Homo-oligomer: A and B are copies of this chain.
């Protein structure tokens, strides 16, 4: 059968995922003497244990060629060609962080995760006090954007209302080009809203406005398909995080086609539409038990354990 594989000629790329280095190709093969439609699914191989072993004795043994892409502070980016490789394109992209602190080492290690089931009581007695104690300097960058001090050139939409207002801008992780990974973020103006837990029925118009403005900008500025005329379908997957990484309410707006973003995972992400629907039904988010994944070493996990939970 490798003869049939060898005869494959590409007609069209059907699917590509640059993050997982996968392409699905449509083409034709000579099969039983006939030109026959065929699919070829290609994926890069993972780093082998043997390859990693080589690096124990030094990087030069693993790569025949290393070329600089850029450098900034402790970060250096390079392309590498594996030892015996003569490919035109580099085989590996590398980021060197040197010197590395313990904090950076922890950041790039696999954390052990667990699901915390936060009851309303745990929220009131541990989580909320912990959030309230965080220094306001941690969200200074958010206020800088809202007050027109930083990133003004990025703002896509601005509603000045102190209660129902918000700004919409591209997420820093988005390249601002690839439609399939479109990623916007809406930051609300009302500083009293820190998380999902603070949402009440009165915030439904705010959330709906974010949804509408997002769909409009996604269409008008970036060319995503429009929302359906009856409102029952949108091209965006909008969600809030709980636990978020910063405590100033914000909504993530992703292309519905962007399915490989780790932040969109259940156990962290709550679909905006589901949140609105629950608020409409009178559910109070401060009275719910909410589950979320926590990595070992997270200071909130530490606070919860100090209080006797999640041990």
Contact = CB atoms under 8 A, between A and B. Distances in A.
Interface of A: 1-2, 4-10, 13-16, 18-21, 23-27, 29, 31, 36-48, 50-52, 55-60, 66-68, 71, 76, 78-80, 82-100, 104-105, 108-110, 112-119, 122, 180, 225, 228-239, 256-257, 259-260, 262, 264-267, 269-274, 276-278, 280-281, 283, 287-291, 293-294, 304, 308-311
14 contacts: A4-B96, A8-B59, A10-B52, A19-B20, A23-B47, A31-B98, A39-B104, A43-B92, A114-B234, A115-B233, A117-B234, A122-B232, A228-B310, A274-B290
B236 A6 contact: no
Contacts of A5: 59, 66, 76, 78, 94, 96
Q: How many copies does the complex hold?
A: 2
B281 A14 contact: no
A4 B37 contact: no
Given A26-B105, A38-B97, A44 B91 contact: yes
B273 A66 contact: no
Contacts of A45: 21, 44, 79, 89-93
A230 B109 contact: no
Contacts of A288: 274, 277-278, 281
A278 B68 CA distance: 53
A207 B105 CA distance: 39
A91 B97 CA distance: 26
Contact of A265 (B7, B122, B259): B259
B289 A108 contact: no
A192 B147 CA distance: 55
Contacts of A16: 46-47, 110
A138 B272 CA distance: 32
A232 to B, nearest CB: 5
B265 A58 contact: no
A214 to B, nearest CB: 11
B256 A39 contact: no
A277 B256 contact: no
